[in-house]
Structure 1
């Protein structure tokens, strides 16, 4: 049961968040809530002790503090902030959190540049009839949930819970 949660819930939630953000420019609150709640359930079952669990929650608190400031200055969406915070809890205060955040930053930057380029050619894209979601070409925001989701997939194999599930 524990392995199923570790191998399925986290990746599935991130995939749902990324797809939802791509198609609708929103990330459902329940995705972040499920990530946080499932971590609280699975962490002790995976063998993490109280100090390790506290470290994971501290990672979430630190990431939340930064995300809250970015949200307050209208530099980050609320859904992105919640998703990044809930994801950080799964990585804890480990090198894998740093790895995850670097991937998010890099992929988010590349994606932002691609979307700026896409939006610069909106008329051509719409005239060609390519199936691009309207929210992607018309919105003023960037669906950062995509970068968060892809980065999570890239960093997750080195996360403490994945390593615990694999017995290493």
Structure 2
């Protein structure tokens, strides 16, 4: 029962991150914080022993370090890095690698979609005031939480932690 709640909570928090990122281009710190606390509480119920928990922690820490290296020059946002790292923590090794790779691929698809959508919107008689606070505005940031959540929700059914849910 607790593992079911934990997995639903994980998915819900990923979707909360999408909601905030689409609306304000930020991911509040409480979302990755809740994911971190949720993992600490849920890990034993998801069948993680000390070795698996350690590998999960190292996976999350490695993704955080890589993300910080991409954040420092301004290539990605800090909220995106924290969300990706806490997602990787939940997935552990090797599912965390699949999560990160699918999230990165989804981010590429999202960027292409936004470039095309922005070009189409420019051809329509829509005021820039209407588009000003949306991802369709020229020069607006990419709400990358969409890609991160897509990666999480696509990998989740095949992940080791989901096996507890179905088992």
Q: TM-score, normalised by structure 2?
A: 0.89
Instruction: Please say if 1:120 is aligned against 2:94.
Output: no
Q: In structure 2, the residue corresponding to 1:19 is in which secondary structure?
A: helix
CA–CA distance in structure 2, aligned partners of residues 43 and 22 of structure 1? 30
Relative to structure 2, which stretch is displaced further, 32-41 or 22-31?
22-31
The residue number in structure 2 matching 1:104 is: 103
Give the Cα–Cα distance (whole angstroms) in 2 for the partners of residues 63 and 144 of structure 1. 16
Deviations 1:116-159 (A, max 9, x none): 22223443346289x86833123532111000011110001122
Residue by residue over 1:74-121, the C-alpha shift from the partner in whole angstroms, topping out at 9 and shown as x without a partner, is 000011000000100011011x22221221111100110111222234
Q: Distance in 2 between matches of 1:47 and 1:127?
A: 52
5+ residue gaps, structure 1, are none
Distance 1:125 1:53 in 2: 52
The structure-2 alpha-carbon separation of the partners of 1:141 and 1:51, relative to structure 1 and needing over 3 Å to count, comes to same
Q: Secondary structure at the match of 1:140?
A: coil
Pairing 1:43-122 to 2, within 5 Å after superposition: 43-94=43-94, 96-122=95-121
Aligned length: 165
Residue 21 of structure 1 contacts residue 145 of structure 1 at CA under 8 Å; is this kept in 2? yes
TM-score by length of 1: 0.89
- Structure 2, unaligned runs of 5 or more: none
How large is the RMSD of aligned CA atoms in angstroms? 2.1
The answer to which structure, 1 or 2, has the higher relative contact order (CA under 8 A, 6+ apart) is 1
> Separation in 2 of the partners of 1:81 and 1:128?
33
Decide whether aligned partners of structure 1 residues 126 and 38 sit closer, same or farther in structure 2, where only a CA change above 3 A counts: farther
